[in-house]
Amino acid sequence: MNDFSNESNEKIFITGGTQLQGNVRISGAKNAALPLMTLSLILNKGFTLSNMPDLADTRLMSNLLAELGINNSWKFGKVNFHGAPKINEASYELVRQMRASILVLGPLLASKGSARVPLPGGCAIGTRPIDLHVLVMEALGANVYYDSGFIIASVGSEGLKGGLIDFPKVSVGATESAIMTSVLAKGKTTIINAAHEPEIVDLAKCLISAGADINGVGTSTIIINGVNELNPVDHEIVPDRIEAGSFAIASGMTKGNIEITHIRPKDLEFFLKVLNYTGSEIKIDTNSINITSSKRPEPYDIVTQTHPGFPTDLQAQYMALMSIASGSAFIKETIFENRFMHVPELLRMGANISIKNQIASIIGVKELKGSKVMASDLRASMSLILAALAALGTSEIDGIHHLDRGYEKIEDKLSNLGAIIRRSK
Ligand code: EPU
């Protein structure tokens, strides 16, 4: 994600030290919603998504799709998409604000036979190239080149053709691009070294309901037989496992007792084991979990990995937890090269963390202190919120536009659990 969009002067003020208690309902997953929304470019006969999180990022995707000619109307978490894309060019103004905009490339190409999408650029957490998305388009028979900051992809009169997509590296977004671009291609596509994330499974589930022929999703090899057309579909977006994990950590930070509802615990299996090793008690039900944390967290080392390993999107939040642990822990980040931007800010709050290469060494401190801090990206902003919930005194968190990209109604949800939190200029 780029980090220069929707900046506001708003800040969040948190007075720490309250034990969080009660229920929190988790929203639909941002990272499932974004690729699902781009399916509206190929699902032109009727498409509705429910459990849609109302976030800066999903609103931005909605505007991008509207500019391309897809009308979308929002009502109580339900979004109806109508129409087919009228133009093949995505606007720089919108794409530059969100890296996930690259996901329109494949569906636009499948629908229009050509697509012009501005390069999304790097972001705070790393350079984030798009070569694997380009590899997908080329493997399916497209001609791709770069001109004046745009990626331009086109296919001949025969359209997209199924092919072999052998990823040299596992990528969530490129796996999604591969699925979305090949469902309407002629013939068979084989995707090797595919990512397994639940959001990818959700995308495939939606397409299968629309009549796509997809096998092996959730494993490393996905096989797709192209179909001629897709039918109307209503799909409910999978719950946000990262939001759920963030609230689970909030319990650990505050010796809390939180019931986290409307989730799929299976999607968090590895993370919940780790949280249990840190001393939180976890009761798992079909669609909810209860987390009780009664003592200072115990240290436990983690390495971020693709699903089903420890998610990189919970690394910053987990570091806040380890910063108050009763000993030392290591956190190794393997997915993004620069995802420790929260560290200097946690240091301001009294944490004891040093970084060497991609490994953070954290020596737990007894107490964090409320401070003025700056969020640098979405998950870093949640890490600082969590640290502030545990800290002595009041923290002032700046850079809140990052938080609004991925956490729906966060102040309401936290204050319902007893947090002392307010937003103000
Ligand atoms: N990569 C390449 N070339 C590409 C694409 C990716 O080298 O063409 C590299 C990336 O630079 C990175 C690695 O591959 O080092 C994995 O990136 P991936 O493509 O899997 O990430 P993504 O699809 O861009 C999604 C989420 C991220 C999440 C990652 C990893 C969405 C919209 N975004 O990004 O979410 O961190 O997968 O799980 O689904 C967040 O929500 O805060 C967030 C950053």
In the predicted structure, residue 121 carries a pLDDT above the cut 90: no
Beta bridge partners of 93: none
Q: In what order do the strands lie in the sheet with 143-147?
A: 114-118, 150-154, 143-147
- For residue 30, report the distance from its CA to the centre of ligand 1, in Å: 13
Using pLDDT thresholds of 50, 70 and 90, give the confidence band for residue 124: confident
Averaged pLDDT for residues 303-308: 97
Q: Which atom of ligand 1 is nearest to the CA of 379?
A: 42
**What does the alpha-carbon distance between residue 406 and residue 244 come to, in Å, rounded to a whole number?**
12
Counting ligand 1 atoms within 8 A of each CB, the residue from 57, 128, 243 with the most, and so the one to mutate, is 128
| Predicted pLDDT of residue 425 | 82
Distance 423 CA to ligand 1 centre (A): 30
Contact 407, 247 (CB under 8 A): no
Residue-wise pLDDT for 248-288, tens only, equals 999 999 999 999 999 999 999 999 999 999 999 999 999 99
* Catalytic residue numbers, as ranges: 123
Angle between helix 198-209 and helix 30-38 axes, rounded to 10 deg: 40
pLDDT at 4: 43
Query: How close is the Cα of 417 to the center of ligand 1, in Å?
Result: 31
- If you take atom 24 of ligand 1, which residue's CA is the nearest one? 173
β-pairing, 359-363 with 352-356?
antiparallel
* pLDDT band, residue 2 (cuts 50/70/90): very low
Mutation pick for ligand 1 pocket among 97, 166, 171, 336 (CB with most ligand atoms within 8 Å) = 171
- Using the predicted structure, report yes or no on whether residue 335 has a pLDDT greater than 60: yes
102 C-beta closer than 6 A to ligand 1: no
Cα 168 to averaged position of ligand 1 atoms, centre (Å): 14
Q: Ligand 1 within 6 A of 100 CB? A: yes
Among 197, 173, 177, CA closest to 189:
177
Structural contact between residues 49 and 33, judged by C-beta atoms closer than 8 angstroms: yes
φ/ψ of 105, rounded to 5, equals: -55, -55
Cα angle 126, 378, 63; round to 5: 95
Provide the Cα torsion 66, 72, 74, 78; round to 10°: -130
**pLDDT (0 to 100) of residue 60:** 96
Q: Tell me how many degrees the CA angle 342-339-306 measures, rounded to the nearest 5.
A: 130
Atom number of ligand 1 nearest to Cα 133: 8
Q: Name which residue sits closest to atom 9 of ligand 1, judged by CA.
A: 128
- Nearest atom in ligand 1 to the alpha carbon of residue 172 is 20
User: Residue of the nearest CA to atom 10 in ligand 1?
Assistant: 128
Single-letter amino acid, residue 177:
S
287, 262 contact by CB (below 8 A): yes
Ligand 1 atom with the smallest distance to the CA of 377 is 42
pTM: 0.97
